[in-house]
């Protein structure tokens, strides 16, 4: 296993894991279809608020089986602007906080591994004191395979966002993300992969009764590159792993969402996607076709 770190005045390349694993990734990502996804600043909008009909008008639609993306995908940037400014659901706005990030997601597979590539332009810094001085950027995605996590199918990662988790107003700093009735044995969990820019480190974990950042065996490699003002991060993940790893199979769809912690942010001060489907050789919002 090798780790490489290459830095220059115009950018940086950070690699984690075995370089041989990346040999099977698409040689030309330009030939792989890209899906545009707007990640927005969510403020204080935990699952409890999402599902409370007296505060969120979409709660009734969710009960009827509609998805968050079905209602809000075209207005995600506008929602982020309201919350980043403090006009809605943000008691402690950060001056200069980017309201949204437009990202492109590409996916492919080789029959044994899933490859996910995320690209986006670096927003202007807010100028606020860094929350995580070691990591200017973090990116994480979560997969859910059985629609057992409440709101996973309709809202992606939102099933792990609760009002009593750390960085929420009045919450204990020791409380991590979790899912209702979380259980690895019963399949009630999210599979979580994260890459951190400054630490040159990737994490393979899960979210069940709590967030666990290590222990998974599916993540093979994660590489990030800043070229000018544009980030690109590629994850390589085996179809099957160990505890906390969702097993992938051709022909299936998986619930999918991701988040970017920009501007050295931590906790809820990130930008998040709505919920989407990831298809392995199957048509989803994002499709990972065999190359």
pLDDT tens column, 26-60: 999 999 999 999 999 999 999 999 999 999 999 99
> Where are the chain's structural domains?
5-34+107-290
Rounded CA-CA distance 68/153 in Å is 9
DSSP 124: P
Contact, 178 vs 192, CB < 8 A? Answer: no
5-34+107-290 has which fold? Immunoglobulin-like (2.60.40)
Q: What is the pLDDT of residue 24?
A: 63
Please give the Cα distance from 122 to 124 (Å, whole number): 7
Q: How high is the pLDDT of residue 2?
A: 32
Average pLDDT of span 137-145: 98
What's this model's pTM, rounded to 2 decimal places? 0.92
Among 92, 71, 93, which residue's Cα sits nearest to residue 84?
93
């Amino acid at each position: 296993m090798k780790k490489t770190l290459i830095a220059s005045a115009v950018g940086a390349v950070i690699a984690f894991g075995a370089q041989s694993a990346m040999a099977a990734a698409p040689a030309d990502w330009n030939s792989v279809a890209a899906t545009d996804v707007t990640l927005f600043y969510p403020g204080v909008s935990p699952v409890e608020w999402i599902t409370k009909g007296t505060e969120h008008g979409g709660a009734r639609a969710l009960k009827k089986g509609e998805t968050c993306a079905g209602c809000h995908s075209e207005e995600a940037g506008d929602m982020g602007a309201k919350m980043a400014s403090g006009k809605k659901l943000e008691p402690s706005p950060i001056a200069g906080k980017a309201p949204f990030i437009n990202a492109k997601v590409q996916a492919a597979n080789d029959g044994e591994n899933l490859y996910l590539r995320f690209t986006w332009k670096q927003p202007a810094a807010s100028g606020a004191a860094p929350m995580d001085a070691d990591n200017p950027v973090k990116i994480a995605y979560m997969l859910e395979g059985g629609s057992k996590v409440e709101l996973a199918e309709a809202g992606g990662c939102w099933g792990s966002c609760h009002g009593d988790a750390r960085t929420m107003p009045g919450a204990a700093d020791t409380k991590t993300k979790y899912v209702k009735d979380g259980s690895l044995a019963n399949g009630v969990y999210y599979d979580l992969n994260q890459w951190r820019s400054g630490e040159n480190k990737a994490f393979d974990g899960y979210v069940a009764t709590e967030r666990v950042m290590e222990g998974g065996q599916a993540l093979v490699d994660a590489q990030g590159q800043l070229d000018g003002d544009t980030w690109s991060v590629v994850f390589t993940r085996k179809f099957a792993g160990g505890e906390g790893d969702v097993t992938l199979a051709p022909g299936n769809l998986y619930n999918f969402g991701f988040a970017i912690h920009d501007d050295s942010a931590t906790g809820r001060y990130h930008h998040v996607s709505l919920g989407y489907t990831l298809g392995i050789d199957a048509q989803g919002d994002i499709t990972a076709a065999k190359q």
